[in-house]
Chains A and B, each alone.
Chain A
Amino acid sequence: MKKSTKISRRERSNKAGYLFLLPYALLFTIFILTPVCLAVVLSFTNFNVIQFPKPVGFLNYINLVTSDEVFMQYVLPNTVKYAIIVGVGGYCLSFLLAWALANLPGKLRTVLALILYSPSMTAGVAMTVLWKIMFTGDQTGYINSWLMDLGVINEPIIWLVNANYLLPIVIIIGLWSSMGVGFLAILAGILNTDESLYEAAAIDGVKNRFQEMIYVTIPSMKPQMLFAAVMQIVGAFQNGQVASMLAGNPTPGYAAQLIVNHIEDYGFIRYEMGYAAAVSVALLLIVNVFSKIANKLFGEKD
């Protein structure tokens, strides 16, 4: 360890450190930290958005665990399913695609990366309107029309009302848009790995691209792997917009109700903001557990 330099630098680093941090920290505290803390406080109250919040202790949390049947029966299983497929699947896909692109020459790589990233650039309601058109429930819908042409189905499927199809559709759209900023970071990370490491590895007996990926590429880009993992976890648990835009909130038969939809349902439809805040805190705890695991896998060990 370079202990001596650390000590000699400590005095001035302290002051400079705070100065460099100040602008961000200030705005962060005002506009992010304070609202988050307020939300946590609200989770211990009964708040209908109009009257002043009434403190109720842990009642919201107790209700969540003991008497919210919709949460236990639909929301939690749906969210777990969604998070596993879109979270883990999307992460592996991001890495493999980024790695594949890194193995292609510059111009081609740029075009392919652009196409893969493009779903992340089409945010908002307008895009969901387009998905609605694709999945229209009668034969004028594109998917129905194609499947009928191919002879896969004989009559149109009412995609967005049928409980059997809604969650898979939401999952497919989730996967479609999972090549996000994590994917870009991984791509940059792979391209940034030191070339001499590969040469050394080849001498040490690395035989193919797969071994190279496992023993050289991944270990040398842990920071990006961690970033992408956390982004994927957060995204997988916080997506929900698509479901409520496609099928309304609550979704038919709670078929595609994810935690975020549950929060919106309580917060902005039933105006039980205290309960919605409690669910959000529970969600934070869940997400945090998984990101701790990611930290174990890819974090700096010092």
Chain B
Amino acid sequence: MAYKGNGINPKKFEKGQIKILLMVLPLVIITGLPIVFIVFHAFKPMEELFAFPPKFITTNPTLDNFRKLFKASRTAGIPLSKYVFNSLLITGAVVFSSLVFTTSAAYALSKLKFKGRFALMNINQLALMFVPVAVMIPRYLVVNVLHMTNTYWAQILPLIPLPVALFLVKQFVDQVPDSLIEAAYMDGAKELQIYTKVILPLIKPAIATAAILVFQQVWTNMEASNYYVNDDGLKTLAFYMNTLTSTTTNNTVAGQGVAAAASLIMFVPNLVLFCILQKNVMNTMAHSGIK
């Protein structure tokens, strides 16, 4: 019997897939356990946090840990909603501008022939290899020189260029066949139209992946709030959750529940975005009818 080929992206479940599933499942379970643990831990009442032997599963779920978290923010003077607003504003602004700038730069670097584009790509790659901790203080100096400390700008502009995202998107633009672009040229399309009508629709998986990536980077970013902003009213939820878990917990058992609750709150938006965008991440260009 000749091999029929192509088990990739099957439409329905078949017998042959059971083998694969059995190989993957143990790893999936191991990977998922710590996440399940956070969820359980966040809803544990005090006596279960102290329980001995320790219990993995929560038997009497409670919202106590979340209540404590909100109470702590009320005593701090700045309402939680302010942090949430700051985070949403900053994340929204960064994700949107980053995607526009990154895709257009990727198009230019990949498909437009101009002097120095290989050098630029190399510089971008080198930058992403430079360890972030070493750049923290120099970047603070730059933000300072530009008089941006204590503004929203300081928390938005430095986060927009993300070398990793450009690298990712460019790798996908590389795969768009040149013949398509040539054809669009023949039809009289200008670069801008090619970018919006040809490139963008074809690299949806890359855009979705980059969106997840940028969102995550910004949503969990504490560096900007930590170093560039003194005014507590401008800081983000990630920063606040972090101070809360590192000051209130200090390893006490009671604080563990609060830490778990905080980490769950930070995790959920990532999860929601992933669920919204996953269709695009896993979308195939084959379906777009181009190939």
Determine how close the nearest CB of chain A comes to the CB of B269; give it in whole angstroms. Answer: 9
Are the C-beta atoms of B163 and A28 separated by less than 8 Å? yes
**Contact (Cβ within 8 A) A6 B113:** yes
- Give bound CA distance, A133 to B209, whole Å: 32
Indicate if the CB atoms of B171 and A104 lie closer than 8 Å: no
Q: How many residues of B contact A (CB 8 A)?
A: 119
Q: Is the CB of B17 within 8 A of A27?
A: no
- Expressed in whole angstroms, the Cα–Cα distance for A191 and B270 within the complex equals 23
User: Do B131 and A260 touch (CB < 8 A)?
Assistant: yes
Within 8 A of B (CB), among A1-56: 2, 5-6, 9-10, 12-14, 16-21, 23-25, 27-28, 30-36, 38-39, 42, 49
B261 to chain A, nearest CB (A): 9
Stretch at the interface among A61-69, A113-121, A163-171: A113-121
Select one of B113, B166, B270 contacting A24, CB under 8 A: B166
How would you classify the secondary structure of chain B's contact residues: helix, strand, loop or mixed?
helix
Which A residues are CB-close (under 8 A) to B242? 124-126
Contact of A105 among B11, B238, B262 (CB under 8 A): B11
- Which residues 277-291 of B have a CB within 8 angstroms of A? 278, 281-286, 291
User: Top 10 nearest A-B pairs by Cβ distance?
Assistant: A202-B5, A126-B263, A280-B134, A17-B114, A38-B138, A20-B108, A17-B112, A24-B105, A223-B171, A35-B138
Task: Give me 12 other A-B pairs in contact (C-beta within 8 A), A140-B53, A185-B168, A223-B171 excluded.
Answer: A10-B113, A13-B113, A34-B142, A115-B31, A117-B274, A119-B35, A133-B256, A141-B54, A145-B54, A208-B3, A223-B175, A276-B133
28 contacts between A and B (CB under 8 A): A2-B178, A10-B114, A27-B101, A27-B160, A30-B146, A32-B163, A35-B135, A35-B139, A49-B137, A97-B27, A108-B21, A115-B28, A118-B267, A118-B271, A139-B52, A140-B54, A185-B171, A185-B209, A192-B205, A195-B6, A198-B6, A198-B8, A212-B6, A227-B167, A238-B132, A263-B134, A280-B130, A300-B174
